[in-house]
Structure 1
Amino acid sequence: MASHVGRPAVHRVAVLVRDGLLAMELGIVHRLFGQARDATGRALYDVVTCTLVPGPVRTDADVEVLVQLGPEVLDTADTVIVPASDLDYAPSPPPAGLAEALARIGPGARIASICTGSFVLAAAGLLDGLPATTHWKSADRFGELHPRVHLDPDVLYTAAGRILTSAGEAAGIDLCLHMIRTDHGAAVANDVARGTVVPPHRDGGQAQYVRRPIPDPAVSSTGRARAWALERLHRPVTLRDLAARESVSTRTFTRRFRDEMGTSPGRWLALQRVERACTLLEETDLPVDEVAERAGFGTAGSMRLHLQAELGTSPTAYRRTFRARPAA
């Protein structure tokens, strides 16, 4: 594992790729984790790619990836990510040696999959009894092959302790940002998202895809209402207020919002306030009561309940973890 004198070891992310690799997913991991920096500009992650037998790895595109590292890299990985392969969509057994490779992962390491990479984790027994997801098109087959896994085919990603899974390729972006946010806080994750020009946070429970086609965007868009709400998170915002910004009824607005965002207006608003609170806790020394007021929670007690529900921590503990961390 990479280390520096007087500095903590850099978190190593190992990407375990297989023949038929979905090339975009390899790029997602390297691009997102590779951009994460601390206050001094030092890289926070060391991202490496490995495969069962070093050499050229076929992708789903017209290129091959030359992978020089083998499964021994997994011995020192802090996080292991398994992207999808186009072979996951065919009724073929997993490659020989895959289970042995996964067995090399340390007991404290985090393990994640993108898209149908979850089939690999499930085949190794890593998902037994745990919530997991995969690409919605493969959900039925996944359920047949792995009945011991608590499959939720509708969500973007799941996080059960050290085991995480995500849905299709774009959901892999959300999962990587979730892991970066968990490790280093909202400010670092937001910087990475900004650099990649992607939304900084989509809730893992958000729907994978829109079940009904969206009508004409000119009449169905809720963008004006969302932009207006973000400018006034510190003030009360009601469903009626949001619907009025789009000149539609609350019922119509709620239906269109779910179609476009995959979640309810109230749930979306609560998550934006949690994100705002995290940013203020990290980047300012404002008292907790004032952070709660500026984020729109009204009281510190209300904010505490929301942070506990979403992040499993208190405002004070969150600030202590991410605000007072010395530059590495």
Structure 2
Amino acid sequence: MLLLHGFGEFWWSWRHQLTALTEAGFRAVAVDLRGYGDTDKPPRGYDGWTLAGDTNGLIRALGHTRATLIGHSDGGLVCWATATLHPRVVDRIIVIASPHPRALRRRVLRDKTQRARFLPLFLRNQIPRFGERQITRDDAAFVSDYFAERSSASWRAQPDYAHTVELNRSAMLIPNVAHCSLEYRRWAFRSQFRPDGARFMELMDQRLHLPVLALRGRDDPYILDHAMADSHRWAAHQMYRQVEDSGHFVHQEQPAAVTEYVLEFLRHEPEPTADGPRRPARKVRRGRSAVYSPVRFAARIRRSRSAPDGR
């Protein structure tokens, strides 16, 4: 099982799930995404194509041909992209506060509430150097505000919350992390006006036939219910659950509940059509296939004990 963190986080955000999945007999690996933590900080490669290629390469580098992917926020986007572009290496995916990219775009365009929650910060991040300065000034105080605005009051009252924010502020101050973390969002926006983005969204317009678990904190003010629920249009076997008393960081706010949902989902055998034909959600123009070269993940990889199935 490969665990992929979200914006403003690093591998440590999966601390609770790593322990629980290990105890349940799975091999779980949490990594820093490209540009975060101890990884390389290349100037390019924060597009959906390359990130999916990174994940495909990492699964094989860890000695497996298939894996289950779990992703939060931006890490969830990587899950959706890898499952679509490299279906043969993915058993199933679990996405947390991360709608299918087409579902999110659809809701941002049609739902004024989702648009108001999502777009302001997303657009501010597009301004070169301004976003980096905003994130890193005052010892990355932005991270404190980011977590406070999107998490539940019950978690903010716990010692774990203060410790989490402190560590994530330190991680954001690693040289070039702020810039790299924003490049994910800059590509997501700017590519909408370029051929590469149009082609990516066309290829993402396919209905996955592998199992999908979608989780959302019921009080998440950033990613709203309809955006997550709409993802079923691109996932034939989606299970969608909302977790009480939690916001955007549900896997850290309510780790026991998330672990229970994840283990329940993993106990069910994947659908036999996981590698079968996938029909488009609507008719799209097919582009030519692409080949990806995985970059080196000079990451802090935290591995649990091995399990033969590679999950």
TM-score range, shorter chain: under 0.3
What TM-score does the superposition give when structure 1 sets the normalisation length?
0.27
Structure with higher Rg: it is 1
Taking CA–CA contacts closer than 8 Å with sequence separation of 6 or more, which of the two structures ends up with the larger relative contact order?
2
